[in-house]
Amino acid sequence: MKEGEFHFYEYKEPGYSDYFSYDIQRVDMGIAAAHFDFAVKEKGIKGSFKTVTGMEKDLPENMNYVFSWVKEK
């Protein structure tokens, strides 16, 4: 991991979203990303969400790489 990169992963709990007509875990991921974005902006840190290649390698079962937040240089 490089300094200034923050990677977001989602553990897909088997059966968790079966109770909903949509992927509630994906909604939770969006909420977490929004809170992260608000916090770094509040601190005056500039960056953006991106997809970083190679982050999906060697993950545990049911774990998925979603996206990264990368600080501007």
For residue range 12-71, list pLDDT tens digits in order. Answer: 888 887 888 888 888 999 999 999 999 999 999 999 999 999 998 999 999 999 999 999
pLDDT for the residue 19: 85
Residue 2: per-residue pLDDT: 80
pLDDT band at 1 (very low <50, low <70, confident <90, very high): low
Helices (H), the chain: 24-42
> Is residue 62 within 8 Å of residue 14, measured between CB atoms?
yes
pLDDT at residue 18, as a whole number: 85
Report strand pairing: 63-71 vs 47-50: antiparallel
Strand partners, 6: 69
- Max alpha carbon distance in the chain (Å)? 43
What is the 3-state composition of the chain as percent helix, strand, coil, each rounded to the nearest 5? 30, 25, 40
